Homo-oligomer: A and B are copies of this chain.
């Protein structure tokens, strides 16, 4: 998955060992998994050459990072010019995100 961090998200991530992001749509700090329980336990953090991107290796609770129930948000693969679902769902979003 790709998500945004601001300084507060980064600080909370370091303090707790659980990935926090900045939700641009909700304009608030977002503990990944706060609704689904699918938290991300940080295993390693890498910084890129121009120091504006982090690569975070996590242990993913529930086995799925994507809110659509897939292990990865990148579950569609380009095949013959069309993006086609190329993974199996780990969970049913309707079961996890109940009203």
Q: Which residue of B lies closest to A66 (CB)?
A: B49
Number of A residues, CB within 8 Å of B: 24
A49 touches B73 (CB 8 A): yes
A59 interface contact, C-beta 8 A: no
Q: Copy number in this complex?
A: 2
A76 touches B46 (CB 8 A): yes
Task: Tell which of B46, B49, B75 touches A49, judged by Cβ atoms closer than 8 Å.
Answer: B75
A1 interface contact, C-beta 8 A: yes
List 21 A-B residue pairs with CB atoms under 8 Å apart, sorted by A's residue number. A1-B48, A2-B48, A2-B53, A45-B77, A45-B78, A46-B74, A46-B75, A46-B76, A46-B78, A46-B86, A47-B74, A47-B83, A48-B73, A48-B76, A49-B66, A49-B67, A49-B68, A49-B70, A49-B75, A50-B73, A53-B73
